[in-house]
Structure 1
Amino acid sequence: MKLLKPAWVTHEGRPIFSVDIHPDGSRFATGGQGDDCGRVVIWNMAPVLSAEVEKDENVPKLLCQMDNHLACVNCVRWSVSGRYLASCGDDKAILIWQHSGSGGTVFGGIATAESWRCVATLRSHSGDVLDLAWAPHDAWLASCSVDNSVIIWNALNFPEVVTVLRAHSGLVKGVVWDPIGKFLASQSDDKTLKIWRTNDWKQETSITEPFKECGGTTHVLRMGWSPDGQYLVSAHAMNGGGPTAQIIEREGWVTDKDFVGHRKAITSVRFNNNIMLKSLPHSNKPQQYCCCAIGSRDRSISVWLTALKRPLVIIKDLFNDSVLDLTWCTSGHILMACSWDGTVACVEFEETEIGKSLSASEKKALHERIYGKSLTVPNSLTSNTIVETPELLAVREAQRKQLNSTPTKVNSVSKPSLTATPMRGPSKQIETRTSDGKRRITPMFIPTVVDNGEAPQPFSSSTQPTFSSSTETKSKIVIEKREDIIAPNVSKPANPKPQSQELISSTLSMDVDKSPPKVTAPKSSVTPEKVNGVAAESLDQPAPLTSKIDKSNQPKSEEPPKHEEKPKDKEKEEKKTEEKVEKAQATSVQEKVPDVKTKTGKRRGRPPLSERVDRLDKTEKSVATPAPAQPVQTPAVHSPAKQVTVVAENELKLPILSIDKTLNVQIPGCPGKVLTVENAALASPFGPLNLVKCYFNNKSVNTKGGDWEAVLSSKAVAAGCNAFLCAVCCEDCTLQVFETMYGRRPLPPLQLTSRPSRLIVSRGHVFVLTVKGMLSVWDVPARKAVLVDESVAHLLDKNVSVVGCQVLESGSPALTLSSGKLYLFCSELKNWTLLGDGRDPVQQSSSHLLYATAVTQSGNVSASPLPPLTALQAACKGHFRSKVPAASGPASSCTLTFLEQQMACSRLLQSPRDYHLWLSALVRFLVHEGMETRLRLICDELLGPAHSRAVSSKSWDDKILGMSKHDLLRETLTVVATNLSLQRLYSEYNDLLESALTSK
């Protein structure tokens, strides 16, 4: 036996709380306290075992250091395959690490020989995480915490939670798996050790007698389970007032034996993963036994063999503080331990001392002889429950075939192929020269090495990476020289020289043909997107809830040509200046109002138009945008408006819509047809008259309807239209409605309570929101009001405004607020209903996306196009954001609450696609969580009067939103069949469904 204590294995003198040797034996990991963080370090094993290798400067000792934890690391554990490393700490987080190629230097860190990246972060514990354990088949990862819970994670699909075990009433300080995979054990400060079944995650037994006298004096309680599965050895127990390690037999969970001898509490127990074999002196038959190491707060380690009544060896005073963790290598001859004093010790045994290990085939044969079958790696997380009915067996077989026939991405623990061909960089580069003779190389993308995330290879000095900044071989990249000359990338001067008016006109005319459609107005008008919601919608394409415009995409304004003549009369000078401005507006679509240089000093009369526009930009939310005289097409039309702030009695602030002079609108759904509104277009002895015209700007277009015009006595402030209706709001708070085809009035002028803030024409409905927060919707073809003067003031305040409006096909209005909330007015309930809240903590804490995505991927519900409810909620800021993975407790309750709320909203909207989607998601969640009572409620409702608890046949309808309830029940039962613990529920309702279908 050799006893080694490498001084270079240290966390700079800070405590090391955990140590674990990699399955290949070439490296080991330590976890503990770092520099104001939690630290995980991966070390090279070779320098520990060999003094010659330790002295070799070319062999790195530290392979990788990870300081990602925010607090002290309590445990590190390698997966059985060696592909992953799990670490947990006081920051309530579990990090899953994976090898990602050769190392390097991290900014602010030290040079490393390997690189490990965090591939998953598991957050569901509400307190410090103290211990971890990988299942024998690597499909599960167990973690325990001071929050009194044990969480089982799905290692095939991080961060999914399989279940949460909540039966302890104290801090859970240790977990360990049965090597057969049938049980899980956990030990807590509540003086109990609990055994859990893995087939249904129910408690098998709770052991209390050996722990009644124990106190919570240990940092951890790390147990060990023998590799043959026959014995479980606990940490801190008491017998006769002395500390022991309690031996618990698998058969009957008997506790009549223990390991004694340590003077202080036991902190860690670790079995050698091998079953040892040794020949007895007076027998020809070799004896099989297990080997166990025990660490204690008395700073000593004892090694026991089940074939001996006394310990094989006791190592005292090995550390200056408590022993915290133990680990064996895969070969079974090396034992490592770590201590609170920040050091690590290594004990190397000879085969003559500890025995010979059984081979993997011999160990498998032993398991088959004892338990009837050996442990096999499962392809899924289904338990070992026996399938009781042939119908369920046939359903699961069909599901398995469908899964195998559908190519999907599976997060498997199997080792990926290492022979993948890496992506190569470019074989040539393009070289050009600028007009000033400078050489330019066209940048080309150089792909990085593909990271397959495979298990790390055994580390040795021959495999360590080498880095070099030079090479003896010449580059094979071919340089492709091009003879064309390009202009140098020189920035233009801030104030370019003015161009002629003809050049500006010709350039802008070409831009108009290539630019996307815009709303046009010959005079100063406001950009439609800044008005927030005055829109006209076509029948097939409703207007979006919100629309904004990016000012950065607009071209900079050009200066108009300068005139050297100085008129004598200042009034003539001002008049000519304004004519030039109007002329520039009629020529440009996106050009800003030009700045006109005049004499210095303050002038009398109105300020120049440019100053008024600048003042409007600084003081108001909207932006004035000139437009050409010739209108162009637009998919969603907005009437320009000045956003004048109005303060109502309840301090509600909504923008006022306004049209200065003229508005031109391309009518959606009517190619070539234009709606024009001209204020003060005609003069009369009794005052100016305002004109509304609808005409074809291209007479060759063969379209039904003709040109028409109407005269208004009041100035128009807003307009909206679609292929069926045109609506104009006037300054005297009247709403004028016309038929788009011939200009007839389907309704007389409607009097509004105040000036409009929003105007929307959608299908046959007209939507008006006034500045006082009164909302009205009219169904024009039916000549009736859907909603009249319904107040939205209680939905708004000084910090919340309306950012989007929409009228559904039923005529119900929907409002999207700046707070992220989505409201719909329900005429049946006579109230505003909350359809979504993007900042709702319940929605943000739920894991509904996991189940909704699974539904769409299964093909039962199409995700494109989005269902109505989902499309409305998608516009809410932050909606469908999910932070917490699926778990029992608060996250599980949040998921259930949100899914049921989505189903209620789907029925309110009368949307069958939404209802189908969220019902399927809810069923998947309930099946995953095993909530049989809730599932029965759904099955009863879908089954109908064939069941005793169903409603009477007179009131029961076999369809919901046009979908057959029995078809939905059949889909539900297909999902239920995936959880074998619910197979009796499946059999019961499957028989009832067949009976109901037969009786029809």
Structure 2
Amino acid sequence: MAVSKDGTLAFISFSTDEIGCPLSEDETNNLHMKLYGKSAQTNASSVNPTIIENPELLRLREEEKTRAKTAASSEQIPRPAPPTPQRAPINKQIETRTADGKRRITPMFIPPIEGSESSEKQSESQVPTSACIGMKRKHEEMPQACLAVKRKRGRPPLYDRSAAPPPPRPPSPLAAPPPTSTQVVKTTQHVEVVSVLPEASLSKSARIQIPGETSVDIPPPLLVVENDYRAGSSHSGGTPSLHRVSKMQVNVVSWVTFLTSRVTTAAATVTTAAFTCHDKSLHILDIKTGEMILPPLKLQGRSSQLFVHENTIIVLTTDATLTIWDLENKKRILSESIRHLGEAFTRCPKLETWLLLGECASVRRVVQPEYTMLPPCHPADATAKPLTSLLHQTAAYSGSSRVSRPVISDDARLSLTEVFINRMLTSAQYLKSSHDYKYWMKRKIQFFIKEGLEKKLRVIFDDLLGPNVSSSTLDQAECRSNLPKILDCDKKSLLEEFLREILLAKNSLQLQRLYAEYKEQLDANAVDMI
């Protein structure tokens, strides 16, 4: 039967003399054995078809064999010799006596002092990143903030070095609920809030590029920080050290300001320059004139991170307090402790809470490891791949991959792997990140293909293909399925890419008929559009 677009219906009937009779299953198997030496029949021990029915799959496999032979004939790169193992340091003095009665003493190992100046030096233009934040303004709502907090392993929280000896280490904020009152350290001189994040610090000189219009002939303007510009004595009666901040372009200084406290963080936009100092102050200047937009703001603690985005300033202090200011309306949007956060989170203004992005390290240890790997992410890709950028900085991904994995059943591991991938997809959708969504959807397709979950693949493929009925009979769910794109990704292009994953899979023979079915529909839709 055939139907044309004008509504014409045609019915064609063939007799057995014209088209013949279909072969029985036994006759088909006997014919395959005669032609190919293999049977097309599947049994309990072999769930996959043994005969390639799709010519595209056959061509692809021949190409893979050719590439494998080329790679095998190429020269092999010699592996470097393994490093010589070093002996463990001696933690006590050892005394021995030689045959002639002389004493021989092996001295004890004295480790270098932590926090030495050589170990704390950083590059000129970089700020230590123990936390990272991206923001999106929606109408008049609070900007969306994404946060990744990473604490150093095996080291106690940092304290004010000017205070008395540090108190006993407080319990980890991830293992116990946050305290109901502010934790303080009592000294003979003053009261200091406990630090749980490292204090930021700039090198003696730093240059920060000011964003804006770029030109090939003229270099971009720079915000230049010069700490200890004029060294002095901070003792009573002496001259304090001066620290200079200026705007410069082609060795021409536009404006200059001096401070008496060392600059720890600095940031610039096309309209604003902001920097924090060691004395817990935040300075906000007009980037064009250098004039102060507001008097210096006093922070609750020393700055650990500083971010400036359009008219919004975000400061994360060492006591884990996150504060957001709206410069346009000159008001504070948010100020709260994030001591209870330990991975990657995003702030939801409507729910007034933090949403967990991705999964914690304990969940990652029980899922299939090949589906937890993150794609490489350059710092310049942070805007296009916010989820990937944040997860690269969390403990769940930055820790060692050589960890013990709990023994669980295969069914439980499969279920947790699917839950893990779905969590990633949900996070990518909330962040409206098409790159992250496409990456994790491809991971999901690969997971379903490897496990031979044909029904779940059909659900995804049907959604990408769209309903095949008239628009007048579509319900709300089908209308959403009929949208041509999802997060700026063309559905038909995604379907074509995902179908190719079937051809590349090791068990492609098992799903080759599924491939042929949806490839035929995809090509038919393309012809109809022409």
After TM superposition, the score normalised by the length of structure 1 is 0.32
Question: Residues 767 and 690 from structure 1, CA distance in 2 versus in 1: closer, same or farther, beyond 3 angstroms?
Answer: farther
Partner of 1:959: 485
Is 1:936 the counterpart of 2:458? The answer is yes
Is 2:346–2:354's contact at 8 Å kept on the other side of the alignment?
yes
Q: Distance in 1 between matches of 2:394 and 2:196?
A: 24
Any conservation in 2 of the 1:943–1:969 contact (CA below 8 Å)?
Answer: yes
Task: Identify the residue that residue 315 of structure 2 maps to in structure 1.
Answer: 768
1:823 Cα deviation (Å)?
1.9
Change in Cα spacing, 1:903 to 1:834, as seen in structure 2 (3 Å) is same
Is 1:975 matched with 2:501? yes
Contact 1:722 1:762 in 2 (8 A): yes
Asked whether the equivalents of residues 824 and 832 of structure 1 are also in contact (C-alpha less than 8 Å), the reply is: yes
Cα offset for 1:932? 2.5
Give 1:674-713 correspondences, 5 Å limit: 674-676=225-227, 693-695=244-246, 702-703=250-251, 705-709=253-257
Q: State the shift of 1:933 in Å.
A: 2.8
Kindly state the Cα deviation for residue 549 of structure 1 after the two structures are TM-superposed. Answer: 13
Kindly indicate whether the alpha-carbon contact (under 8 Å) linking 2:121 and 2:203 is maintained by their aligned counterparts in 1.
Answer: no
Could you say which residue in structure 1 is the equivalent of 2:266?
A: 721
1:913, distance to aligned residue in structure 2 (A): 2.5
Pairing partner for 2:207 from 667, 689, 708: 667
Structure 1 position 386, deviation (Å): 5.3
C-alpha separation in 2, matches of 1:741 and 1:620: 46
User: Pick from 341, 344, 368: which aligns with 1:847?
Assistant: 368
* 1:758 and 2:304 aligned: yes
372 and 702 in structure 1: CA distance in 2 versus 1, 3 angstrom threshold: closer
* Counterpart selection for 1:792 from 327, 330, 338: 338
CA distance in 1, matches of 2:410, 2:70: 26
2:60 to 370, 377, 399: 399
Q: Give the letter for the 1:404 counterpart.
A: K
Give, in whole Å, the separation in 2 of the partners of 1:950 and 1:534: 39
Equivalents in 2 of 1:771, 1:672: separation in Å? 24
Determine the C-alpha separation between the residues in 1 that align with 2:320 and 2:300.
Answer: 9
Alignment of 1:469-868 (within 5 A): 619=166, 649=181, 651=183, 654-655=194-195, 664-669=204-209, 673-676=224-227, 693-695=244-246, 702-703=250-251, 705-709=253-257, 719-724=264-269, 725-729=272-276, 735-740=282-287, 742-745=289-292, 747-749=293-295, 754-762=300-308, 764=310, 765-770=312-317, 773-778=320-325, 787-793=333-339, 795=340, 817=342, 821-827=343-349, 830-841=352-363, 843-849=364-370, 851=371, 863=376, 865=378, 867-868=385-386
How much does 1:384 deviate? 2.4
Contact 2:429/2:437, CA 8 A, preserved across alignment: yes
Structure 2 unaligned spans of 5+:
1-25, 27-32, 41-45, 84-105, 111-116, 134-146, 169-177, 185-192, 210-220
Using the size of structure 2 for normalisation, the TM-score is 0.55
- Correspondence 1:992 to 2:486: no
Higher percent of residues as helix: 2
- Letter paired with 1:736: H
What is the CA distance between 1:923 and its match in structure 2?
0.4
Corresponding residue number in structure 2 for 1:913:
435
Higher relative contact order (CA 8 A, sep 6+): 2
Alpha-carbon contact 1:718-1:759 (below 8 Å) kept: no
Which of 365, 379, 383 is the equivalent residue of 2:48? Answer: 383
- Aligned partners of 2:451 and 2:332: how far apart in 1? 43
- Equivalents in 2 of 1:721, 1:517: separation in Å? 14
Render the CA deviation track for 1:92-117: whole Å, top value 9, x for unaligned: xxxxxxxxxxxxxxxxxxxxxxxxxx
The alpha-carbon distance between structure 1 residues 980 and 739, as it changes in their structure 2 partners (threshold 3 A), is same
Q: Residue deviations 1:20-64, cap 9 Å, x none? A: xxxxxxxxxxxxxxxxxxxxxxxxxxxxxxxxxxxxxxxxxxxxx
CA distance in 1, matches of 2:501, 2:268: 46
Q: State the match for 2:423 in structure 1.
A: 901
SS state of the match for residue 397, structure 2? coil
Q: Give deviations 1:89-146, integer Å, cap 9, x for gaps.
A: xxxxxxxxxxxxxxxxxxxxxxxxxxxxxxxxxxxxxxxxxxxxxxxxxxxxxxxxxx
Q: 1:943 to 1:951 in 2, by over 3 A?
A: farther
Q: Is the 8 A contact 1:973 1:990 kept in 2?
A: yes
Residue 969 of structure 1 deviates from its aligned partner by 0.8
CA contact (8 A) 2:359 2:420 kept: no
**Closer, same or farther in 2 for the Cα pair 1:876/1:618, shift >3 Å?**
same
- State the AA in 2 paired with 1:709: T
Asked if the contact 2:428–2:434 (Cα under 8 Å) also holds between the matched residues in 1, the reply is yes
The one-letter code of the counterpart of 2:439 is L
- Residues of 2 paired with 1:995 and 1:786: CA distance? 57
Task: Describe the superposition over 1:745-795 as per-residue Cα deviations: whole angstroms up to 9, x where unpaired.
Answer: 3x4348667345534135545321356654223465x667795224425x2
Equivalent position SS for 2:495: helix
SS across alignment from 2:290: coil
Q: Is the 8 A contact 2:132 2:390 kept in 1?
A: no
Cα distance change of structure 1 residues 703 and 789 upon mapping to structure 2, 3 Å threshold:
same
2:421 equivalent to 1:870? no
Structure 1 distance, partners of 2:335, 2:386, is 26
Change in 2 beyond 3 A, CA 1:944/1:726: same
Please tell me whether the aligned partners of residues 183 and 194 of structure 2 are also in contact (alpha carbons under 8 angstroms): no
The alpha-carbon distance between structure 1 residues 618 and 771, as it changes in their structure 2 partners (threshold 3 A), is: closer
CA contact (8 A) 1:824 1:834 kept: yes
Residue 904 to residue 544, structure 1, CA distance change in 2 (3 Å)? closer
Which consecutive residues of structure 1, in runs of 5 or more, have no partner in the other structure? 1-250, 252-367, 376-380, 411-415, 424-443, 448-490, 496-510, 521-527, 536-542, 552-611, 622-645, 797-816, 857-861
- Partners of 1:408 and 1:838 lie apart in 2 by 42
SS at match of 1:942: helix
- 3-state DSSP class of the match of 1:619? coil
Greater strand fraction, Structure 1 or Structure 2: 1
1:232-631 matches, cutoff 5 A: 373=38, 383-384=48-49, 393-407=54-68, 619=166
8 Å contact from structure 2 (residues 323, 336) kept in 1: yes
Counterpart secondary structure, 1:840: helix
Q: What root-mean-square deviation, in Å, do the aligned CA atoms of Structure 1 and Structure 2 show? A: 5.9
Q: What amino acid is the match of 1:972?
A: F
**Residue type matched to 2:65 in 1?**
N
Alignment of 1:924 with 2:446, yes or no, is: yes
Mapped to 2, the partners of 1:657 and 1:900 lie a distance apart of 31
CA distance in 2, matches of 1:672, 1:373: 74
Contact 1:845 1:884 in 2 (8 A): yes
Native 8 Å contact 1:944 1:956 kept in 2: yes
2:393 partner letter = A
- What displacement does 1:385 show? 5.3
Q: Letter of the aligned partner of 2:284 in structure 1?
A: V
Output one character per residue of 1:902-930: Cα deviation in whole Å (capped at 9) or x when no partner: 11222223333222221111101111222
Aligned residues: 390
| CA-CA distance at 1:896 after TM superposition | 0.9
Deviation at 1:675, TM superposition (A): 4.4
1:963: how far off? 2.0
| Deviation per residue, 1:625-644 (Å, 9 max, x gap) | xxxxxxxxxxxxxxxxxxxx
Amino acid at match of 1:960: I
Task: Provide the rounded CA distance (Å) in 2 between the counterparts of 1:648 and 1:887.
Answer: 41
CA distance in 1, matches of 2:501, 2:227: 58
Structure 2 distance, partners of 1:884, 1:406, is 38
CA contact (8 A) 1:655 1:757 kept: no
Contact 1:675-1:692 at 8 Å conserved across structures: yes
CA shift for structure 1 position 847 = 1.4
Alignment of 1:9-88 (within 5 A): none
Amino acid at match of 1:936: R
